[in-house]
Amino acid sequence: MSQLDPLPTDLPFRIISKTIGRGAYASIKKAVPLDADTPIFAVKFIHKTYATKQGRISAKQIAMEVSLHSHIGQHANIIEWFATGEDDVWRWIAMEYASGGDLFDKIEADVGVSDTVAQIYFSQLVAGVSFVHSKGVAHRDLKPENILLSEGGDLKIADFGMATMFAYQGQRKMSSTICGSPPYVAPEVLTCARAPRREGRKYDPEQADIWSCGVILFVLLVGNTPWDQPTEESWEFVEYVKTGGHSSDELWQRVPADAQSLLRGMLAIDSSKRFNMQRIRQHPWFSRSNPLMMENGRMKDPLQVATLMLSKLRIDFDKPVPRNGGNASQDAMDTDPVGGISSTQPEPMLQDPFFDFDCRLNTNAPTLGNLSANRISAFSSTRPTTSHNIGGISATQPVGGHGMGVTSGSAREILDSEPGLSQFSQTPGVSLTLTQRARQFRDLVPEQRFTKFLSASPPHHLISLLVDALHNLSVPLPSNLPEPEMSPSAPYVWMVKIRAMDGRKQSMHGEIVVDRYYLGGEFGGELLEVRFLKMKGDPLEWRRFFKRVAVLCRDGVFKPEA
């Protein structure tokens, strides 16, 4: 993005982060008011020319996103819109910051969550989507990437860039715009894409959202999508259609019996026969009593929900990882490709100006007058966090030597209390150390992604393990990889960008960053931290990719019991 124009100099807020998320033509950063360090909110920056030329998004469509998001209003399960502004080059949108991070980053790929937790989050998803629909708006891009969490762990629906107004003053309209992610999009949307324009094919965007909600429920329950896309090119979808929704696929067999009829109703091929929100709410699986959920859909016991989620996150170091583009199974129907990466269709390593843009900080603009005091209070009150701060241990202090290791039992005890390390424990469940210290949801399931590990290996050895793992997974890498940099002034030890196609043939972009992790004070000892930072793509696919790299680097991964 360095090739693009710099951000405006008169922004009514201060930017406090690099890019934390991005889409095809936009990036998202954290910001605060000019005269305070809180509250933190998110700002989406859209480069209007790039959106038009590369994203094929018109100025009218950008304005529509702003208009519809602001029109929807406030709801507990919707990212709230705050303010907007633009100049000749940029449009910015300030909105609520979901300080809990991605929901699906906290869900184990190919496993899912418990039936009880799935019901909570699905109920909140239905509440949010129903509210959007009540305003005459359809989202049209519901997928894990657009489902976030509040600080307390409640679900938040984000990104209304593909939204449309389908009902207004008693009138309804159909859609013809092709949008959404293939694994989550309704079949009638793809039918419109393939039909000749002269036929004038259209679809009901409200019912298309219902389909997407059904796929998301499936993913909550089993940790994978039922198909790559709902077309004849997917054998899983063909099987589903031929059997009238009673697929023999192993994934469907893992869906609880009482939830299968709900899924079949939401995933009805004929959209006119598809469940509406009323029928969803009346379904026994949806309406049953849940000991962890209040009547209003909020969590009754956030700590217990967090414990159940954390207990499912597990990395099996004994599980074989397919290499060099081959599947672990020779079964032609095996749908789990190498490392979550389609080695036969690597995404070209083209320059992407939104990949690593780091904007200029701005301190001289007027205050954000659009935001009143009462709306400010609705922002996340979370203090800015340092991505290197784990378990209360600062990693920002300089590392004096190159030898890595934990030399103190006390240091090891502190590390054992870090939630992110529990996934590497080979003992099932969540440790008492974690649960006894936890006071709120984020103590067990923090904002920071779980796609990271610590290592006691020397830098060169660790990086060699990482590079070998990426090569084995056929991940495209630049020809000239950097050498590790251990200087205290360096921003990190080592970094490589990832740009590839995931196992569902969707774009996946991010970075692998190796950083210093210093155990100071009386404890002593030094470690390295390896963070897998997703910038674009399905959170579950990114986690699947992370897990396979971690398994291939098993000899360099710090484990709590080691």
Q: Enumerate the active-site residues.
A: 141
- Three-state DSSP class for residue 282: helix
Contacts of residue 227, Cβ cutoff 8 Å, sequence gap at least 6:
183, 234, 236, 237, 240
Distance CA 41, CA 81 (A): 10
Length in residues, the chain: 562
Which residue in 172, 207, 159 sits closest to 186, CA to CA? 207
- Map tokens 């940029």 to a residue: 90
Which residue in 66, 217, 20, 222 sits closest to 129, CA to CA? 217
Distance CA 125, CA 216 (A): 9
Secondary structure E strands in 393-468: 452-455
Residue 439: other Cβ atoms inside 10 A: 8
Distance CA 314, CA 427 (A): 9
Sheet containing strand 507-518, strands side by side: 452-455, 526-536, 507-518, 494-501
Question: Is residue 90 within 8 Å of residue 48, measured between CB atoms?
Answer: yes
Determine which helix (DSSP H) or strand (DSSP E) holds 254, and give its type and residue range.
Answer: none
Adjacent-strand bridge partners of 342: none
Distance CA 309, CA 116 (A): 10
DSSP string, 295-306: TTSSBS-HHHHH
44 is in an annotated binding site: yes
Distance CA 104, CA 176 (A): 29
Lookup: tokens for 535? 């910038």
Contacts of residue 253, Cβ cutoff 8 Å, sequence gap at least 6:
none
CB-based burial, 321-349: b 16+ in 10 Å, e otherwise:
bbbeeeeeeeeeeebebbbbbbbeeebee
Q: Which residues are annotated as a binding site for ATP?
A: 44
